[in-house]
Amino acid sequence: MIAQRDIFFDTLFEYAKEDKDVYLIAADCGAKSLDRWRDELPDQFIYTGISEQHTINFAAGLASEGKKVYVYFMACWVARCFEQIRYSCAMAKNNITIVGTSVGLGYHPAGPAHEPTEDLAYMRSLCGLEIHSPSNNNMTKSLVDLTYQEPKLRYVRLERTQPQGFENLYNSTDNHFIEGGIFSVRETANNSNDDLAKHLSNRNKSVMILSSGYMLEKANNLYKMMSNTGYSVALVDAWKLPINYDNLKSISENYDTLVTIEEQSLNGGFGSAICEAVCDMDLNKKVVRLGLPNKYIFDNGSRNHILETNGFDTSDMYESVIGRLK
């Protein structure tokens, strides 16, 4: 299975062949796609070694000269260079694309030091920065197009591998999901007038589940279970932060409960962003947040095992949501 990061850098490579202002600066050399950059575009590929703070400052300098700069390292090290991102990029308005891999528990064999379960919280606090969490390879390719065509300060959160379960969610020729940063993947009802009447007659039976990236598969499992037990449910890929308030309001209009699922600490993460939007817009909706416990996880085992033992078994998620709806 092709790594999501290789999909990103192979797609970017095609732009770089034609545009000598595209630079890739890597503080990690573990991706196969980087070999191609090093061998075929040596003047546009810079390996900085394990020096993320220097890497960001270097990238900001190139960006200040009008270059289209991409930075790559493991997502856990974004915390190490947060100061440089804030001062050299966000505050100085130098647009670079930071590509972080192995998000959430994606590098679980190395333990919590390599598991960035707070990156959404601190990165979304930066003024002017957009965060993207693609759920499959087709979306990853489209994000390369977006970052190249519309340069701005971005943080792209990638998996070491292709997230499972959604290979065909978006096809390679349809980019409509890029618009607005929030996309309804599937619904149990089409919200016709009859459907809407049923929703409004039992407000606790209409639920919208929002997630992104790797966790969209977990969200889909919950979607299926709730659909099979009499709930009117929508599954939404909210792949971009900050949330577009108007789009969230429109897409959630016929749903009374919003459920957020994230592989992050609940403190300041994706669920918090949805709560802020609901509060700011005075929406009459209940929000149920499902995330990792507020602790560093030292459990051993596969990523799926660690998730399931920390509340992400489908039945456990279902019971958590149902308990809040009563």
Per-residue model confidence as pLDDT tens digits over 38-67: 999 999 999 999 899 999 999 999 999 999
Per-residue model confidence as pLDDT tens digits over 148-186: 999 999 999 998 766 655 555 665 555 666 667 777 787
Say yes or no to pLDDT of 194 above 60.
no
State pTM to two decimals: 0.92
* CATH (residue range 179-325): 3.40.50.920
pLDDT for res 175? 60
Torsion of CA 270, 275, 281, 285, to 10 degrees: 120
- 111 sits in the region (left: phi over 0; alpha: psi -120 to 50; else beta) called left
Q: Which amino acid is at 178?
A: I
Mean pLDDT, residues 282-288 taken together: 97
pLDDT for res 318? 96
Question: Which residue ranges make up each domain of the chain?
Answer: 4-158, 179-325
Q: Do domains 4-158 and 179-325 have the same CATH topology?
A: yes
Counting residues of the chain whose pLDDT is more than 90, the rounded percentage is 71
Counting residues of the chain whose pLDDT is more than 70, the rounded percentage is 89
> Please, which pLDDT band fits residue 1 given cuts at 50, 70 and 90?
low
CATH fold of 4-158 reads Rossmann fold (3.40.50)
